[in-house]
C-alpha cells in the first residue's frame, strides 16, 4: 500500500491519475481540499502524528508531496521541519518500507551558470530553498539514525495543466483572463523546467528502486531557459500576446539548472516532453 500525503495539490492530482493506471494500491490523506472520486482516502494532517500513525501500516511506502510555501509566514521553516518529524516518526514506528520526499533544486541556490549534481554543496538563497534544505537534512539524520530508507527527489520547476500558482500557474490564468502578470528579473532569470508527466514518471520509478538508505536524485531537464524565452514560445505557440509587466526586482535565484545523470542511470528517468510540446499541451488543452 502506498500512502500519499499531499494528494490534493497540483503534483498530487497528476500522481493519483497515474497511480490509477498501475497495479499499486494506494490511499491519500484528506485534509481540506477536494480529491478525485473513487480513490481510498483517510482524514488526517501532517500536524497530527496520531492521524498519520493510525493510517500507516508496516510495509507501506509513504510519498510526501506536502510543503508548498506559505507567503508571509515567518514560522514556515519550523512548521515544515516539525511536520517532517511527525511523518518520519510515524513511519519509524510502523517500520515502513520506504519514504519518498519531494524537494527542489532551489536548495542549490543561485548557480551562476552551473548545472549542479547531487554531491554539490547547498547554498539556498530563498526561504523556500532553505526550508527544503532543512527538511532534507532532517531526513538524512533520521535515515542514518534509524536505518530508514528515504529517497529525496529534487524537482526543477514543474509545469503542466491545472496549475493555479507559481510562474506557470499565473501565466495560465493571465492567458485566460488577460490580467497582467509581473515578471521579476526583467524576465532574464533562467529556469530548469520539467513537464509534469515526466516528473510523475520519476516518482513512479522511485517506488520500485532498490535504494536501501538515504538517496538523492535531481529530477530535472538538465537545460535552462530564460523566462523571456518561455514567454516568447508561449506567444508563438498560441498566437496570443501575454499581458506581461517586467520588473527589475530580484526576489529569487537568477539561474537554476540541475544535472539529471544520476536519475537517468538508476531510475531510468528520461525527458519525454520537451518545452515546446509541453506548452502546446497546456495552452491547447
Model confidence pLDDT, tens digit, residues 226-263: 999 999 999 999 999 999 999 999 999 999 999 999 99
How far is it, in rounded angstroms, from Cα 31 to Cα 43? 6
- On whether residue 171 sits in a domain, the answer given is no
How high is the pLDDT of residue 102?
97
CB atoms within 10 A of CB 188: 16
Per the domain annotation, does 57 fall within a domain? Answer: yes
Cα(260)–Cα(143) distance, rounded to whole angstroms? 23
- Measured in whole angstroms, the distance separating CA 285 from the mean position of its chain's CA atoms is 22
Residue range(s) defining the domain that contains residue 43:
2-159+193-222+255-272
- What pLDDT is recorded for position 199? 98
Number of domains in the chain: 1
Residue 185 domain-assigned?
no
Would you say 18 and 207 are in contact if contact means Cβ atoms under 8 Å apart?
no
Pick from 43-47, 267-271, 272-276: least confident: 43-47
Query: Could you give the 3-state DSSP secondary structure of residue 70?
Result: coil
Percent of the chain with pLDDT over 90: 77
Burial class (CB in 10 A: 0-12, 13-18, 19+), 197: middle
Query: Are 273 and 197 contacting, i.e. CB atoms less than 8 angstroms apart?
Result: yes
Reported pTM? 0.95
What CATH number is given to the structural domain containing 65? 3.40.50.720
59 part of a folded domain: yes
- Within a domain: residue 180? no
In a domain, 44, yes or no: yes
pLDDT at 115: 94
121 located within any domain = yes
Confidence at residue 119, expressed as pLDDT on a 0 to 100 scale: 96
pLDDT of residue 279: 95
Query: 10 in a domain, yes or no?
Result: yes
**What's the pLDDT score for residue 277?**
95
Q: Specify the pLDDT at position 41.
A: 85
- Residues 31-66 pLDDT 10s: 655 666 678 888 888 888 887 888 898 889 999 998
Q: Which stretches within the chain are classed as H helix?
A: 10-19, 49-53, 76-94, 127-146, 166-177, 196-208, 227-238, 261-266, 275-283
Encode pLDDT of 137-193 as tens digits: 999 999 999 999 999 999 999 999 989 889 999 999 999 999 999 999 999 999 999
- Three-state secondary structure call for residue 256: coil
Amino acid at each position: 500500500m502506498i500512502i500519499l500525503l499531499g494528494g490534493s495539490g497540483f503534483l498530487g492530482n497528476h500522481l493519483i491519475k497515474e497511480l490509477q493506471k498501475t497495479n499499486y494500491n494506494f490511499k491519500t490523506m484528506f485534509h481540506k481540499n477536494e480529491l478525485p472520486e473513487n480513490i481510498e482516502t483517510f482524514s488526517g494532517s501532517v500536524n497530527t502524528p496520531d492521524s498519520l500513525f493510525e493510517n500507516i501500516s508496516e510495509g507501506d511506502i509513504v510519498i510526501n508531496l506536502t510543503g508548498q510555501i506559505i507567503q508571509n509566514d515567518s514560522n514556515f521553516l519550523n512548521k515544515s521541519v516539525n511536520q517532517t518529524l511527525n511523518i518520519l516518526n510515524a513511519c519509524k514506528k510502523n517500520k515502513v518500507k520506504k519514504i519518498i520526499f519531494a524537494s527542489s533544486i532551489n536548495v542549490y541556490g543561485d548557480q551562476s551558470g552551473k548545472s549542479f549534481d547531487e554531491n554539490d554543496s547547498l547554498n539556498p538563497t530563498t526561504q523556500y530553498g532553505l526550508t527544503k534544505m532543512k527538511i532534507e537534512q532532517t531526513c538524512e539524520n533520521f535515515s542514518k539514525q534509524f536505518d530508514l530508507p528515504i529517497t529525496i527527489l529534487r524537482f526543477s520547476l514543474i509545469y503542466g495543466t491545472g496549475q493555479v500558482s507559481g510562474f506557470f500557474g499565473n501565466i495560465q490564468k493571465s492567458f485566460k483572463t488577460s490580467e497582467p502578470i509581473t515578471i521579476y528579473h526583467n524576465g532574464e532569470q533562467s529556469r530548469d523546467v520539467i513537464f509534469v508527466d515526466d516528473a510523475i514518471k520519476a516518482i513512479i520509478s522511485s517506488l520500485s528502486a532498490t535504494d536501501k538508505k538515504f538517496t538523492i536524485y535531481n529530477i530535472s531537464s538538465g537545460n535552462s531557459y530564460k523566462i523571456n524565452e518561455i514567454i516568447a514560445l508561449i506567444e508563438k505557440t498560441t498566437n496570443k500576446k501575454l499581458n506581461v509587466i517586467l520588473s527589475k526586482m530580484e526576489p529569487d535565484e537568477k539561474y537554476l539548472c540541475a544535472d539529471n545523470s544520476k536519475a537517468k542511470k538508476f531510475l531510468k528517468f528520461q525527458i519525454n516532453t520537451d518545452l515546446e510540446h509541453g506548452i502546446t499541451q497546456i495552452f491547447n488543452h
